[in-house]
Amino acid sequence: MKILVINGPNINMLGIREPDIYGKNTYDDLVEMIAEHCDKKDIEVDFFQSNHEGEIVDEIQSAYGVFDGIVINPAAYTHTSVAILDALKAVAIPTVEVHISDINEREEFRKFSYVSLVAKKTIAGKGFDGYLEAVDYFA
Ligand code: CA2
């Protein structure tokens, strides 16, 4: 079992600003936490973070035939990107969507997610633990 964890724009800023919403831990802490969890579950894992929509689309396309599952936090592109939705549909790799914050309890514009239309499961508002729950879905 090989999974790809994709994070979208500004997730590389975790722990630097807005700790009240996204916590105090950094992107590197997140990667380490998921990697350790995957190790315990005997799952191979790869990580990708980008601030650019097209790069995320390219990465999803490259995952075709390589990965068995995708865990994605598309960040702001959650609410805007038909391109990411289409790429996930095109590769048809089972996908779990994760949000650190509870997108249903924030601004109105965060309530709609394009990726939810293709995701097997959406996990929101559980902080970094949401990514571990997503890994467990595949385990
Ligand atoms: O809750 C989530 O995980 C989000 O996907 C995070 C996105 C936001 O646009 C989504 O609505 C919900 C934003 C990620 C920005 O991360 C930051 C980290 C530190 C400082 C500022 C932003």
Residue 132 corresponds to which tokens in the numbers above?
A: 């571990």
Residues with catalytic roles: 22, 99
pLDDT on residue 136: 98
Distance 52 CA to ligand 1 centre (A): 14
DSSP 5: E
Angstrom distances, CA of residue 48 to CA of 19, 45, 97: 22, 10, 14
Identify which has the larger pLDDT, 54 or 19. 54
Percent of the chain with pLDDT over 70: 100
Which one of 28, 99, 112, 114 would you pick to mutate in the ligand 1 pocket, going by the greatest count of ligand atoms within 8 A of its CB?
A: 99
pLDDT tens string 77-127: 999 999 999 999 999 999 999 999 999 999 999 999 999 999 999 999 999
Rg (CA), the chain: 14
Mean pLDDT score across all residues of the chain:
97
CB-based contacts of 127: which residues, under 8 Å, 6+ apart? Answer: 23, 100
Ligand 1, residues at Cβ distance < 6 Å: 10-11, 13-14, 16-18, 22, 73, 75-76, 78, 99-101, 103, 110
